[in-house]
Amino acid sequence: MFEVKEKPKLVEKAFLVSVILREDEREEANSLLDELAELVQTLGIKVHQKKVVRIRKTFPGHILGKGKVEEILNQVGELGCDVIVFDNEISPGQQRNWEEAAKVLVIDRHEVILDVFAKRAQTKEASLQVQLARLEYSLPRLRRAWTHLGRQRGGGVTQRGEGEAQIELDQRMLRDKIASTKREIAQVAVRRSTSRKKRQRIPLPTMAIVGYTNAGKSTLLNCMTGANVISEDKLFATLDPTSRKVRCPSGRTVVLTDTVGFIRKLPHRLVDSFKATLEEALVADLLLHVVDLSNPDFDKQMETTREVLRELGAQEKEILTVYNKIDQVESPLIKAKARDLASPCSFISSKSGEGVEALILMAESMLEDRATTKNYLVPHDQYALITRLREQGALLSEEVEEEGVLVKAAPRGNLAYRMKEFVLPPN
């Protein structure tokens, strides 16, 4: 009821358009169009044409001037395309004007991303977050979804005026639906927070995997943990956070969480909607920033991820950059450039497993540096504390002596408080 106008079921051929104001924007525009093509193809629509249009100024009616509009309409008609997709964000009015002129569906990058997210959402939380983003996107576009926009009949004799427009009623209903969805998301966030607190009762060190979509985050999670999380060569194959335990070579256990991928020109309403999901990145002890090194624009993708992390307030977190898909990279110059862009960093192939063991060792070392490691002499009758250290993944070494058990450990939370009395003075 409240969605953007329902799309025709037989949308098969897309014409992609990117509008630029300067010639030096053309290269990036082509790159973004390639990415948009992947998004459109994810929806099962074939891309028949991609076009970058340079203009000197934008026009309020169609973004483009009359001549450019006619040129695109002629090409769309010749190719038989049934949807025009703009890489630029277009206003509701421009959307209506294009559809009236072209007689085909016209959408923008944001609507494509929303459709992809809606297709990929699996859990209730992800579905609610997508629903909220779509509702907020739909609000200024209600005229596309409704045809009964006449005014309601006025009230009794004493009530004058034309009455309330139907669209005003629809907008109020939509705002109520948005408020209701936000309340549901808040309830889900509370449950997620409760679940996180239960995990923190045995406060294992935590790492969160972040990065650009399709960089190989879920494949890395599977490789490091032996899990079987969905990992496909598709944009946004995973929307829901997934946590698994990693057993480090030293015996320490770490919780590793996969998060939703980022993308250039990600609608801000989606960043806001997915904050509950991305909270895992805010509470993690260490972020693994996975980068697809085989992508020619990997540096721009890195900056996109960093921008989103800044929006989330996670820019101060400790980050280990993980350059993935090195099996697809031959030039040493690319690796040299990568080292210059981020430190510390690790080079891996999550598909073949190359470099993953070294990555785990590096990550564990960084986690140890964050924790306070001390020597303790635990009495034999308090051995339960050592068991808890082992469960927590905080026990680094132990040696049985007459007076008790000499341990080297980095306990956290309440356990660290309970063990204060057994701390040995530094040598």
Is residue 427 domain-resident? no
Parent domain of 406: 372-422
Rounded CA separation 402/398 (Å)? 13
Q: Give yes or no: residues 50 and 101 share one domain.
A: yes
Q: Can you give the CATH number for the domain in which 103 is found?
A: 3.40.50.11060
Rounded CA separation 81/122 (Å)? 31
| Side-chain-facing half-sphere of 87: CA atoms under 13 Å | 26
Task: Return all residues near 369 (Cβ < 8 A) that are at least 6 apart.
Answer: none
Q: Give yes or no: residues 385 and 345 share one domain.
A: no
Quick: pLDDT tens for 158-167.
444 454 566 6
Is residue 153 domain-resident? no
Q: Give yes or no: residues 267 and 395 share one domain.
A: no
Quick: pLDDT tens for 322-357.
999 999 998 889 999 999 999 899 999 998 999 999
- Rg of the chain in Å (alpha carbons): 27
Nearest to 278 by CA among 302, 304, 257: 257
Q: Give yes or no: residues 254 and 219 share one domain.
A: yes
Q: Give yes or no: residues 288 and 345 share one domain.
A: yes
pTM above 0.85, yes or no: no
Does the pLDDT of residue 46 top 90, yes or no?
Answer: yes
Task: Return all residues near 208 (Cβ < 8 A) that are at least 6 apart.
Answer: 256, 257, 259, 280, 281, 284, 286, 287, 288
Q: Can you give the CATH number for the domain in which 318 is found?
A: 3.40.50.300
Element (H, E) at 76: helix 66-79
What's the domain count of the chain?
A: 4
Q: Rounded mean pLDDT of the chain?
A: 81
Quick: pLDDT tens for 252-278.
788 888 887 788 887 766 666 566 567
| CA-to-CA separations, 262 to 216, 251, 265, 417, in angstroms, rounded | 12, 33, 9, 39
Q: Give yes or no: residues 236 and 322 share one domain.
A: yes
- Percentage above 70 pLDDT, the chain: 79
- HEC profile for 214-233? CCCHHHHHHHHHCCCCCCCC
